[in-house]
Structure 1
């Protein structure tokens, strides 16, 4: 495993431990070179309550990149709408060790604008 990735995962583990101590649902973000994924886990971190990603049909247009700021905003809006339908209003934000800028920031701000609180 590369050193950069192992440092990121170490940060992510610390965050996840803290979120489980708070026993509140958490919004987790994962990104690859092709796609962006977001999931809301239960307070114990074992059950996925809702999820959204750029792999879903209709979220991004054919031929567009699945991993850019525009795509991240679409995923943020989609996850917030699904969460509200499931009765989830407040979550903890788990950025999975990624820096809070660019795509991660765009996803978080879009989710906040769509009504999710964290």
Structure 2
């Protein structure tokens, strides 16, 4: 139950901070990690990347590859600023590796 409460608490903070910026949402499974940039105003996914196609080395390396690929896909669509939505996950390990790689790729959050 605490993970659901943490997810809802984080989502409410992200939505108030967004103010027209798209949301970078992260989903982490036991094997893979997925990320997408979502425009909540129109309900459209702008860019997405997943770990299945970009599997390279350890899980953290794969997460970094996903972050870099997502930043490149978002740049093609003209998105530079996003709000990071980590969901129920702590900002540690694979989630942090994805965020750092997305920042290096050109996303600002």
- On whether the aligned pair clears a TM of 0.5, the verdict is yes
Indicate conservation of the 8 Å contact 1:25/1:45, yes or no: no
Q: 2:3 matched to which residue of 1?
A: 5
Alpha-carbon offset, residue 75 of structure 1: 0.4
CA separation in 2, counterparts of 1:13 and 1:111? 20
- The aligned length equals 109
Q: Which runs of 5+ in 2 are unaligned?
A: none
Q: Does 1:28 align with 2:19?
A: no
Alignment TM-score, normalising by the size of structure 2: 0.88
CA separation in 2, counterparts of 1:86 and 1:73? 20
Q: 1:40 matched to which residue of 2?
A: 37
Q: Does 1:60 align with 2:55?
A: yes
Alpha-carbon offset, residue 60 of structure 1: 1.6
Q: Which runs of 5+ in 1 are unaligned?
A: none
Computing the radius of gyration from Cα coordinates, the structure with the larger value is 1
Q: Secondary structure at the match of 2:35?
A: strand
**How much is the aligned-residue C-alpha RMSD, in angstroms?**
1.8
